[in-house]
Amino acid sequence: MSGTFTVTGRRFVRNGARHRILAGAAHYFRTHPAQWTHRLRMLRAMGLNTVETYVPWNWHEPRPGTVRRLEDLERFLDESAACGLDVIVRPGPYICAEWDNGGLPAWLTARVGRRVRTADPDYLRHVDAWFDRLLPVVARRQITRGGTVVMVQVENEYGSFGSDAAYLRHLADGLTARGIEVPLCTSDGPEDHMLTGGSVPGVLTTVNFGSDPEGAFAALAAWRPQDPPMCMEFWDGWFDHWGDRHVARDPADAAGVLDRILAAGASVNLYMAHGGTNFGTTAGANLGGEHHDGAYQPTTTSYDYDAPIDERGAPTAKFWRFREVIERHGGVPGDLPPLPPLLPAARLAVADTVTWRAALPSGGGAVAPVPPTFEELGLDHGLVLYRCTLPGPREARPLVVDGLHDRAHVFVDGRPVAVLERDGRRSVDVAGPATVELLVESMGRVNYGPRLGESKGILGGVRHERQYVHGFTAHPLALDPLDVRWTGAAAPGDGPAFCRAWLDVEDAADTYVALPGWGKGYVWVNGVNLGRFWDRGPQRTLYLPGPLLHAGRNEVVVLELDGRRAATVDLVPGPQLG
Ligand code: GLA
C-alpha cells in the first residue's frame, strides 16, 4: 500500500497525520547482514520509528564502473520496512561518517583533487553515473511507491566544506530527476556560515549538534522559519582515534539533551543509534587543530560510538534512558529482541608463522622513477613495498621520506632498521651501496575538512640527504582479500609476519579478539578482515560477529607489522575500548 510523506507548514505529515520523526542512525555497511534485523528491532525497542543510513559510494564502487553490493542496500531497506521502520537515506555522494575518504572513491579524488565537491564537470560526470545506478534502488522503496523511504538528504554538512551553490543545486535536481519524490533535506551545523553555505532554496534545512538544542533550533528558525525543526544528527556519543583516550558521553547528560530536543517539538535522528564496526580498512581519519589541517588522527576499528545500542547490539544504560525519554514524548517502544549469545573465553595458540614476504605477489611490480601512489597503483588500501637501490660507495646519511602516508617499515639489504611515520620520525641513516625497501602501510583517509581527498603512499619522495633517490619498483599488497602462502617459517627479527591460529566452535556466536603482547596489524577470520589493531589503544579488542564463524574449525590470521608477535590470541566475552 502506498502512502504519503510531506512537509506542511512547520510539520511533517505522514499519511495525512501529523508526524514526528524519531530516527536512529545504523549503517548497513558497519554491521554483518545477518545481524541487521536484530539491530533494527533494537531501534524499535528503543521507541524509534525511523532508521537513517548513509550510502558509502567507495564501498559500492571500488573501481571505476565496478558497482557491487547494491543488493545489500536493497535488503537493508526491505528489512527496515519489514521491521516497521521508515527510512531516511543519505546518499552523499560525500558522507563524512568517519568512513574512509568520507565515502568518496579514492580513484576519483586522486583524479579530481581540489575540484572535489564542486560543480566541476569531471567530478559531476562520475557522481551522475553513480546516482544513475544507485537511485532507482531508493526510488522504488519510497513511501509513495509502497516502501518506507520518507526523506533523502542532499550531500552532507556541505556548509562545513564549501559554498558552491551550483553543485548543491545539481545534486538536488539530480535526485528529483531520478525519481526521488519524498522531501529532500540538507544537514549542517547551526552556524550562519554553515547554514548559508549548505542549504538549498526549496529544500528543507536540518541541523546537527550534540548540545544546546534551544540555541540550535533558534538559529535554524531564524534562517528557515518555514521549516519543521529537525536535528539530523544528535551526537549522543563520539568516535575514537588511535593513540587518544576513549571518548564516552554520560547517559544522563545525553538523555537530558534528547529530552530538550523532543520538548521543543522537534524531530530527531540519533547519531548513532547503533554504531557498529569499521571492518577491514574502511575507517577514516581526521586532521587536528583549529583548521582541521594539523596532526593526522586515524580513527579506530570500532565504531561503537558509545551509542545506546553497542557494537554487538546490546542495550546500554543510555538505551534505557533514551527509551524512557522517547516513550514520555509519545514514542512507542517495541519488544526487545533476544541478545545473540557469546562464545566462552578462549586462548588460541599460534600454529603457523610466515614472513610477510609470503603475501607478496610473485610478479615484477611497477617500475617508476619516483614512488607511485597507492591510487596510481590501483590499490585502495593495504601495503605497498617500494624498493630502490641506493648507489655507492657513500657514507651513512639520513634517508628522508617526504609526505609519508602513513607509516613505513624500512629494510636495508633485507634487514628491518626503522619505522617511520607521518607526523613522527621521518628519516634513518643509511650507507650505500644498499638495497632499500620501504613497506608503506595506509591508515584511513581523512574524511572531514579542507584536506579531504588525500592520497596514500609516498607523496613527496625519498631523499638521501638532499639528493632524491630515483628508480623504484612498487609491489602492491591488498589486505582485503588476503592471499598468503603458508610456507617458509619466519625467523625472529625478520620484521612483519603472518600468524595463524585455529578456533574450534560448536555453535557460532559473537566474541571479541584480544591481542595482549602484540604490536600493530590486522586480523582476519575465515578470510574476512576484521580491521586494524594497535597497542597504542584505546581499543584493545576487535568485535568478531558470530555470523563470520561456523561450527567446526575456523581460521584466525594475524598480520603483525611491528615484529611483536605473541604465542597466543585471546577471545574474550566483552569489549575493551579503553
Ligand atoms: C558530522 C558528520 C557525520 C559524522 C559526525 C561525527 O556530523 O555529518 O557524518 O562524521 O560529524 O561523528
| pTM to 2 decimal places | 0.98
157 CA → ligand 1 middle, Å: 8
Best residue among 90, 104, 208 to mutate for probing ligand 1, ranked by most atoms within 8 Å of CB = 208
pLDDT (0 to 100) of residue 509: 98
First to last CA, the chain: 48
272 CA → ligand 1 middle, Å: 10
Q: For atom 3 of ligand 1, which residue has the closest CA? A: 97
132 CA → ligand 1 middle, Å: 26
Does the 370-470 domain belong in CATH 1.10.760.10? Answer: no
Q: For atom 6 of ligand 1, which residue has the closest CA? A: 97
Percent of the chain with pLDDT over 90: 95
Please enumerate in sequence order all residues whose Cβ is within 8 A of that of 438, keeping only pairs 6 or more positions apart, or say none.
Answer: 371, 385, 386, 387, 401, 408, 409, 410, 411, 420, 458, 462
Catalytic choice (52, 233, 437, 454):
233
Which whole number is the average pLDDT over 442-467?
Answer: 98
User: What tens digit of pLDDT does each residue of 542-563 get?
Assistant: 999 999 999 999 999 999 999 9
Mean pLDDT taken over the chain: 97
145 CA → ligand 1 middle, Å: 30
User: What tens digit of pLDDT does each residue of 267-315 get?
Assistant: 999 999 999 999 999 999 999 999 999 999 999 999 999 999 999 999 9
pLDDT (0 to 100) of residue 101: 99
Report d(CA 549, CA 17) in Å as an integer: 46
Best residue among 55, 241, 271 to mutate for probing ligand 1, ranked by most atoms within 8 Å of CB = 271
pLDDT (0 to 100) of residue 493: 76
pLDDT (0 to 100) of residue 488: 74
Q: For atom 10 of ligand 1, which residue has the closest CA? A: 97
Phi, psi (degrees; rounded to nearest 5) at 183: -60, 140
pLDDT (0 to 100) of residue 358: 86
Q: For atom 4 of ligand 1, which residue has the closest CA? A: 97
pLDDT (0 to 100) of residue 491: 77
Other beta carbons less than 10 A from residue 552's beta carbon? 11
Q: Are strands 511-514 and 5-8 parallel, antiparallel or unpaired?
A: unpaired
Q: Is the per-residue pLDDT at 335 higher than 90? A: yes
Which whole number is the average pLDDT over 409-428?
Answer: 97
Q: Is the per-residue pLDDT at 487 higher than 90? A: no
Report d(CA 507, CA 497) in Å as an integer: 30
Which whole number is the average pLDDT over 358-369?
Answer: 85
Report d(CA 366, CA 473) in Å as an integer: 5
User: What tens digit of pLDDT does each residue of 365-400 get?
Assistant: 889 999 999 999 999 999 999 999 999 999 999 999
* Percent composition of the chain: helix, strand, coil (DSSP 3-state, to 5): 25, 35, 40
User: What tens digit of pLDDT does each residue of 54-86 get?
Assistant: 999 999 999 999 999 999 999 999 999 999 999
Best residue among 53, 305, 448, 452 to mutate for probing ligand 1, ranked by most atoms within 8 Å of CB = 448
326 neighbors 333 (Cβ within 8 angstroms) = yes
Atom of ligand 1 nearest to the CA of 98: 10
Q: Is the per-residue pLDDT at 489 higher than 80? A: no
Q: Is the per-residue pLDDT at 492 higher than 80? A: no
Fold: same for 5-328 and 370-470: no
Our answer to whether residue 214 is catalytic in this structure is no
96 CA → ligand 1 middle, Å: 6
Atom of ligand 1 nearest to the CA of 208: 7
Atom of ligand 1 nearest to the CA of 239: 12
Q: For atom 11 of ligand 1, which residue has the closest CA? A: 97
577 CA → ligand 1 middle, Å: 20
Other beta carbons less than 10 A from residue 75's beta carbon? 14
- Interior angle at CA 247, CA 243 and CA 250, nearest 5: 165
Domain boundary assignment for the chain: 5-328, 346-356+481-572, 370-470
pLDDT (0 to 100) of residue 114: 96
97 CA → ligand 1 middle, Å: 5
Q: Which CATH superfamily is domain 346-356+481-572 in?
A: Galactose-binding domain-like (2.60.120.260)
Ligand 1: residues whose CB is within 6 Å?
95-98, 156-157, 208, 233, 239
362 CA → ligand 1 middle, Å: 42
Closest C-alpha among 242, 312, 232 to residue 272: 232
Atom of ligand 1 nearest to the CA of 95: 9
Best residue among 98, 270, 303 to mutate for probing ligand 1, ranked by most atoms within 8 Å of CB = 98
Catalytic choice (157, 311, 375, 454):
157
pLDDT (0 to 100) of residue 76: 99
Atom of ligand 1 nearest to the CA of 233: 7
Q: Is the per-residue pLDDT at 528 higher than 90? A: yes
Q: For atom 9 of ligand 1, which residue has the closest CA? A: 97
User: What tens digit of pLDDT does each residue of 133-176 get?
Assistant: 999 999 999 999 999 999 999 999 999 999 999 999 999 999 99
Report d(CA 482, CA 15) in Å as an integer: 50
Best residue among 88, 96, 208, 274 to mutate for probing ligand 1, ranked by most atoms within 8 Å of CB = 96
417 CA → ligand 1 middle, Å: 39
Fold for the domain defined by 5-328:
TIM Barrel (3.20.20)
Which whole number is the average pLDDT over 24-44?
Answer: 98
Q: Residue 481's pLDDT band (boundaries 50, 70, 90)? A: confident
Of all helices (H) and strands (E), which one includes residue 26? Answer: strand 22-26
Which whole number is the average pLDDT over 477-488?
Answer: 87
Q: For atom 5 of ligand 1, which residue has the closest CA? A: 97
Our answer to whether residue 98 is catalytic in this structure is no
Q: Is the per-residue pLDDT at 363 higher than 90? A: no
Atom of ligand 1 nearest to the CA of 271: 12
